[in-house]
Amino acid sequence: QVQLVQSGPEAKKPGASVKVSCKTSGYTFTSFDIHWVRQATGQGLEWMGWMNPNTGYTGYAQKFQGRVTMSRNPSINTAYMDLNSLRSDDTAIYYCARRYASWYAFDIWGQGTVITVSS
Amino acid sequence: SYDLTQPLSMSVALGQTAIITCEANNIGSESVHWYQQKPGQAPVLVIYRDTNRPSGIPERFSGSNSGNTATLTIGRAQAGDEADYYCHVWDGRTGFFGGGTTLTVL
């Protein structure tokens, strides 16, 4: 079945970088955009950006421009999200999600990756 | 840019109908999607493109979108419907989420 499996939790210090992976299976990796969404504890969902796994084209929320990089490795059906210059308010659960093309909605989500930023 | 406004919380009696709103200027001109999120779980798509249900989502869930308001309607509410609900819009370049509504089933 279609699955997005994310990498495990990370604890980082302020100023560091983190790279989260999102391994896909059960469908053609290059056929559906991957989006990244984060959620701070007790807060709502926040859209971060997206990537076309076929072309590598990316688009980022203005808030994260310059700090986030989304990439992929098609040979292993995996997408990545790099976030640098981490701050304490980056502490959150980070989700990857597949956007079903004709629906324009996120039909499959990863299980989430907890990133904790603390000195 | 969209500022999607949802009520922070609402409650519904067991078996009754819950209507969750998502407001923004001229939201009716966009496609709105709705997600259900239960504690400790990833969101689940319940309505896409205003009115459509993915397979596996009960018919009790329905949506509409017109003017400045999109709505998610949950009929015959059950205890298992207790969750946070988020509306979502894609404007072609950027994604937007509403602040989320916590639904309590009494």
Torsion-angle region of A72 (φ positive above 0: left; ψ -120 to 50: alpha; else: beta): beta
DSSP, residue by residue, B1-33: ----B--SEEEE-TTS-EEEEEE-TTGGGS-EE
Read off the pLDDT of residues A4-43 as tens digits, 9 standing for 90 and up: 999 999 999 999 999 999 999 999 999 999 999 999 999 9
Mean pLDDT of A102-117: 95
> Residue A102's pLDDT is what?
83
Does any CB of chain B come closer than 8 Å to the CB of residue A53? no
| φ, ψ dihedrals at B28, nearest 5° | -60, -15
Cα A116 from chain centre: 15
Looking at the complex, report in whole angstroms how far the Cα of residue B100 sits from the nearest Cα belonging to chain A: 6
Read off the pLDDT of residues A43-93 as tens digits, 9 standing for 90 and up: 999 999 999 999 999 999 999 999 999 999 999 999 999 999 999 999 999
Verify whether the Cβ–Cβ distance A44 to B97 is below 8 Å. Answer: yes
**Any long-range contacts for A47-52 (C-beta under 8 Å, 24+ apart)?**
A47/B94, A47/B95, A47/B96, A47/B97, A48/A81, A48/A94, A49/A81, A50/A99, A50/B95, A51/A79
| Per-residue confidence band for B30, with pLDDT thresholds at 50, 70 and 90 | very high
> Residue B1's pLDDT is what?
75
Instruction: Give the nearest chain A residue to B30 (CA atoms).
Output: A104
> Residue B86's pLDDT is what?
98
Of A45, A46, A100, the CB nearest to B43: A45
| Per-residue confidence band for A103, with pLDDT thresholds at 50, 70 and 90 | confident
Verify whether the Cβ–Cβ distance A45 to B44 is below 8 Å. Answer: no
Model confidence at B103: pLDDT above 80: yes
Are A78 and A22 in contact, with CB atoms under 8 Å apart? yes
